[in-house]
Amino acid sequence: MKKTSLICILTALLVLLVLPFCGTPAEEEPRLTVVCTTYPIYLFASSLAENVDGVAVERLDTGTTSCLHDYTLSMADMKKIEGADVIALNGAGLEEFLEDALAASDAQVIDCSQGVELLENLSHHHDEDEEDEHGHDHGHWDPHYWMDPANARIMADNLRGGMVLADPDHTAEYENNAIKTEKILLHVEEEARALLEQYLPQGVPGLITFHDGFQYFAKAFDLPLLAAIEEEAGSEASAHEIVEITELVKEHDIPVIFTEVNGSDATAKAISRETGCRVARLTMIMDGPDASDPEFGGVAHYGQLRWDVRSIINGFCGEGTVPNG
């Protein structure tokens, strides 16, 4: 009797151990993995892959820094790159940190900058010694072209073409998603222009930014860019630059200067104390929620561009002119 009971107990335990594996199928591996180097690319690729079975869109952990020229791949980044079928790049010299990893990868590469009219990098007005010390040589082309909504649409179209090439059996789905994506990007641009036309019909005397990544944005929205200084923690502006910016603020009677959300604001605050101008923030849309986050809204997060426009309006017209939601 004891032997029979023991056998029954062992059999029951075995059934309990096996049942979960029989009843819950293992999660299927994606048949196509697209790894994106920046958040804007991640937004556009996620939108294009929406409801396409078996496609996983991932991004590298680049969103916490304002300058990718100093970025170093993490172990998690390396693992994603190793598992990628497609790697979507910003291009324009932004991903120097990825050269060795790309050379070792057999993934299809999409360069989102193809067909974009690139602008030359702005002069940082550093003398040669400072450039050598802080490594401010960022190449010939300004890589922040996604800040122009027209370029964002080119990026999305380059992604569409690359994803169709990698997964031709789902061409119709990518094409339909591309139409929706373009409509959203156009709506963001139209809203931004409408806000500027309503509140700043005469324009502004000029923008002063403490990041050199707003050149495309300023040109797209006809906002004169008086000065743009690449400033990060540990590499603040020189004494000459501080004097130069202070004089510009006074000469043009500028009420506000702008820092980037992930950048340093040390010099901007010093100039604010000297001139009485306010300090506000702009974003380059380098970070946001992942697709697994319930707050994720896909390409709608490119609407952070409207946040920049609201910040500029409130900076020049007075805080609260436009709710900065």
Residues 222-271 have pLDDT tens digits of 999 999 987 765 567 888 889 999 999 999 999 999 999 988 898 999 99
**Ordered domains of the chain (ranges, CATH):** 32-114+146-186 (3.40.50.1980), 200-317 (3.40.50.1980)
pLDDT tens, position by position, for the chain (325 residues)? 444 555 554 454 444 444 444 433 445 789 999 999 999 999 999 999 999 999 999 999 998 777 787 789 999 999 999 999 999 999 999 999 999 999 999 999 999 999 999 999 985 444 444 444 444 456 789 999 999 999 999 999 999 999 999 999 999 999 999 999 999 999 999 999 999 999 999 999 999 999 989 999 999 999 999 999 877 655 678 888 899 999 999 999 999 999 999 888 989 999 999 999 999 999 999 999 999 898 898 999 999 999 999 999 999 999 999 986 5
* Bridge partner residues of 259 (DSSP): 210, 281
Its pTM stands at 0.86
Cα distance between residue 35 and residue 221, in whole Å = 31
Burial label for 233, CB within 10 Å (0-12, 13-18, 19+), is exposed
**Could you tell me the strand order of the sheet in which 256-260 lies?**
225-228, 207-210, 256-260, 278-282
- Contact predicate 62/68, CB 8 Å: yes
The closest alpha carbon to 288, from 277, 276, 300, belongs to 300
CA 95, chain centre distance (Å): 13
Cα distance between residue 120 and residue 280, in whole Å = 26
- The Cβ of residue 278 has, within 10 Å, a number of other Cβ atoms equal to 17
pLDDT reported for residue 16: 43
> In which residue are the tokens 């709710």 written?
323
Cα distance between residue 174 and residue 206, in whole Å = 41
Token duo for residue 51 = 């409801």
The CA-CA-CA angle for residues 223, 224, 228, to 5°, reads 110
Helix axes 239-252, 266-275, angle to 10 degrees: 50
Helical spans, DSSP H, in 221-322:
239-252, 266-275, 304-317
pLDDT reported for residue 324: 61
pLDDT reported for residue 162: 98
Cα distance between residue 254 and residue 267, in whole Å = 16
